Structure 1
């Protein structure tokens, strides 16, 4: 006799609720159907369900997302970097307070190096036939960010080795919820044949029929709810052995349309905006934001960044600001709308020679027109660079910091948005020591400046 374990999985929704109604209804109906048929079924989310670009996630600090997962009937989740490093310590501590599912993360520790009370390093589920399914979870190793927030995070592959050794003799089936990315998932499959299934996330990869490596089946469902994953594990319940593994994806456009799905999507957005209607400042005149020419608001934000970090100078790209601010009351909703990015201030100490080369790189004429995606950026286009404490003469051949020409051997403090520290635009910054200011985002810095 054979038995099939059905696992439905989602990942990297990033609060794109436009597909959530039909995903929720599809999962609820599928779960009900499998239970009626006497089949084992699990619902797992592999992280980054919450993203604070959306007003509902911002206003509820992710707790609204937890409510949506509860409603859909999820059995377990692991956290992604958007849950892990875009909330302050206390808000992450309380994020899953009302969760009706297990939160499984094997490599996150509290500030006192203990497993958080809301976390399980693994969990073993038992099927009706007595099969034991061990579920492990790992999240991306963003050490500087977790450290700045007060958390301790350990190397995921080291923890995986410990967890596999702990459960492999007790479990009949091993499933890993991996918010690590496709490269790590492939490495894990090559190194841990004891694992039966790796459900992946983080790099937004799509595996339509899974990918088998070393007998380990990888599954992944892209991003933004474009797909729902379905992993089928066929087992022999008597011998307690896995016979086969199959994977497939369901495209959101092929799922049955939900009643009132457009209204629900609008409701979540409006509720978030309503909760953010708290005044933070009052403007006597409007502050415009332009992407390709000087304008007041990008300059003000750049000044605020320099002051917040107590830096000598700062720069940022004007495209961070979606639009300007009108005269009158400025609310949290307004600031969230114009600065939706989960981007933190960052301070770097570097020599004058290094700073000069860095500033010269911002003169790249192609960059302002880039349609930027990733790195925490939630806008449309890069925009011109804006500077504070930095001035130029002789067609930018001479660069001045606070009125004095840069001295090559002098040490300077530079404040920038953290997205520039990941090596994509400025590779040299990846090797330099950095101080991340967390949990504040750029919109918090602007609120501070406007409110002052």
Structure 2
């Protein structure tokens, strides 16, 4: 019997609190298994980088690749945080120093060719001659990829094509899937030839895996809280899988690594040092508040409206985690106050739809609402801030909404500038349903703020 040990991580999102422990675990286990004569593979399933962290932002992911190199990963796929939160050029150059294959069968250049740093699959051969086909797939955010200059295709169609190519060439199929739990379950149902699905994207935790027909699904949650381990037992002669099981190691309970706090702090400090680049010198502080008047949020909202050439704009003040002090403002300061990978966006709404949305923003539930995901890296929504929008009291309990000083017209089409997260979540049904959304990439909201500050305080 041949024993294959597969270790996997996913969705660290540059939360390196447990990275020293993960690094120690996977590097020690490689030595142990090799000494025992067993086979070992280590995979990352994407979203290892997240640009809220200074190292990821300053190096555009290259610093993350260095960490993966140091831990001797055998292959990785990438997620939406690597793929759509940076420019075409940044993704195209991110993996230049890689010491492992990058697998994603469903990403291409616009002309239909694959970038030289990418391949759809990799065949690993064990000492006993067993051939393991590892296939990578990334989530199909085709609209954003297209805007950036990439082309993504249907992941399940690409998987089917890869399986046809690998038929007869491999004994075991392992899928690196940054697609989410629902697609992983579909794959288990549709493609019984996939032996193991290592999942991510939806941050699901499968403590002992999940068997879907013949496919064993495994996933390790998020932020490095767990490291996954799949054991596959194989008949050496027939190359048939005899047994497979999945487990997770809780890194919160793992023995601390010597000097781990220093290691974690050094990663942050390294990125911070690279971002200590002056942007402007402020003659006065710019205040930001979640639940009170917020001059910096108002400036950002005005900038958003102007930059998008919109009729009006609104955003939530919680996008700014704090204000800016008088004096030198650096790239690190801008990242600190606005760490979200959120892009500007416009949506076209009728006056009637826009009125309904704006009335919803006045609901008292919003300011203290805690938001997770959708690119938001803050804590609470905060008060809404408006530009080109005025709520005018007509009678005691009646308000009129003005758009650029004119009463809102129910049938007129308005171009509204917003943070893109309002289009992904079901915050506002009218926005979610709109068929005329325009995303501006690769600029983040902090990029707009930077340019406005440079314009105002040269």
TM-score (norm 1): 0.98
1:422 maps to what in 2?
Answer: 424
Contact 1:12–1:222 (CA under 8 A) maintained in structure 2: yes
Whole-angstrom distance in 2 between the partners of 1:199 and 1:109: 22
Whole-angstrom distance in 1 between the partners of 2:28 and 2:289: 48
2:366 maps to what in 1?
Answer: 367
1:404 maps to what in 2?
Answer: 406
Aligned residues: 451
Superposition deviation, residue 111 in structure 1: 2.2
1:381 maps to what in 2?
Answer: 380
Superposition deviation, residue 256 in structure 1: 3.0
Whole-angstrom distance in 2 between the partners of 1:142 and 1:429: 18
- Write the mapping of 1:425-436 to structure 2, written as runs, cut at 5 A: 425-432=427-434, 433-436=436-439
Q: Deviations over 1:248-286 (max 9, x none)?
A: 000003333211100011111111111101111221111
Whole-angstrom distance in 2 between the partners of 1:396 and 1:346: 30
- Write the mapping of 1:30-429 to structure 2, written as runs, cut at 5 A: 30-394=29-393, 397-429=399-431
1:439 to 438, 442, 446: 442
Secondary structure of the residue aligned to 1:425 is coil
Contact 1:23–1:255 (CA under 8 A) maintained in structure 2: no
Structure 1 runs of 4+ aligned residues shifted over 6 Å read none
Secondary structure of the residue aligned to 1:254 is coil
Secondary structure of the residue aligned to 2:367 is helix
Moved more, 280-289 or 253-262: 253-262
Structure 1 unaligned spans of 5+: none
Structure 2 unaligned spans of 5+: none
Q: Deviations over 1:385-441 (max 9, x none)?
A: 000010011267211111001111111111100000013201332332211111111
Secondary structure of the residue aligned to 1:298 is helix
1:449 maps to what in 2?
Answer: 452
Whole-angstrom distance in 1 between the partners of 2:103 and 2:240: 24
Secondary structure of the residue aligned to 2:134 is strand
Query: How much is the aligned-residue C-alpha RMSD, in angstroms?
Result: 1.0
Superposition deviation, residue 161 in structure 1: 1.2
Contact 2:374–2:425 (CA under 8 A) maintained in structure 1: no
Q: Deviations over 1:137-173 (max 9, x none)?
A: 1111111211111110111111111111211221100
Contact 1:26–1:255 (CA under 8 A) maintained in structure 2: no
Secondary structure of the residue aligned to 1:397 is strand
Contact 2:426–2:432 (CA under 8 A) maintained in structure 1: no
TM-score (norm 2): 0.97
Secondary structure of the residue aligned to 2:304 is helix
